[in-house]
Amino acid sequence: MSEVTGPYKQGVPCWVDMGSPDLRASLDFYGTVLGWEGEIGPEELGFYTNCTVRGKRVAGMMKLPEPDMPIAWTTYLAVGDADAAVLAMKAAGATEVFPVMDVLDLGRMALLADPTGAVVGLWQAGTHIGAELVNEPGGIVWNELMTRDSKAARQFYATAFGYDYEDMSADGFDYHAILVDGRPIGGVMGMDENWPDEVHAHWAVTFCVEDADDAVAKVRRAGGAVLSEPQDSPYGRHATCGDPHGATFSVIASTGDMDEASAP
């Protein structure tokens, strides 16, 4: 599935956005790498900008309200009732970062930190359902939680969202696919002592591209950084990159297996 026209199921990643100190520069960078288009939003909405592919929303950007705030992509999980979801998450051990708020008629949002420290958003759809195009070049294809306490994280999200898991771990590799209605919609990766101390728990995002090597070349030409060179996997050729302001993201020229797994 590529185009999404209805609300996402409860707990499925439905949107990503980031704060930028220079929205024009960020739009230009991701336009070069991922083919995004967009116009900087109005000041009264914090210059919130919807990035599009073929006129379909794929991600968002906003101007950083404070210059010293961290620059990172935030994953939002779909919920039918943001207030109820916040209560369930707090009861399971989450900490509220940003309370539930209405975003015009677009929907309702909140930000929380899970018990392992990863910040995640909630999105209750109004007129804005989330990403309208996924699993094709320029769109989100995968979201995964990177954490140093995989067991605690899995227990938390199972309690708060009813997630099931498929253990895909191997020697030296702690990984569980997140299942909603029996279908993988994301993953949980355990970070061990080999990960740098400065890498904290976070939700990572992977975007689909036609050619991972070409995307990496575009990242370099546009002033970004390549954090891991392209390599093959059962799900496609992928790489991890950083944009010019430091936000980390991955790209993958995915196979049909990942497309089918991550469809909303």
Side-chain half-sphere exposure of 52, counting CA atoms within 13 A: 11
For domain 140-262, give the CATH superfamily. 2,3-Dihydroxybiphenyl 1,2-Dioxygenase, domain 1 (3.10.180.10)
* Helix and strand counts by DSSP (H, E) for the chain: 5, 15
pLDDT-based confidence at 251, cuts 50/70/90? very high
pLDDT at 258 exceeding the cut of 90: no
Strands lying side by side in the sheet with 236-242: 164-167, 174-180, 183-190, 140-147, 202-208, 248-254, 236-242, 225-231
pTM for the full predicted model: 0.95
Residue 242: Cβ within 10 Å count: 15
Task: Give dist(CA 195, CA 197) in Å, integer.
Answer: 6
Q: What is the pLDDT of residues 175-211, one digit of tens each?
A: 999 999 999 999 999 999 889 999 999 999 999 999 9
Residue 28: Cβ within 10 Å count: 15
Q: Which residue has the tokens 């990177």?
A: 146
What's the pLDDT at 254?
77
Q: What CATH number does the domain located at 13-125 have?
A: 3.10.180.10
pLDDT at 259 exceeding the cut of 80: no
Give Cα 4 distance to the centre of its chain.
Answer: 16
Domain boundaries, the chain: 13-125, 140-262
- Does this chain's domain 13-125 share its CATH topology with 140-262? yes
Can you tell me whether residue 31 is helix, strand or coil? Answer: helix
Q: What is the pLDDT of residues 106-146, one digit of tens each?
A: 999 999 999 999 999 999 999 999 999 999 999 999 999 99
Task: Give dist(CA 210, CA 208) in Å, integer.
Answer: 7
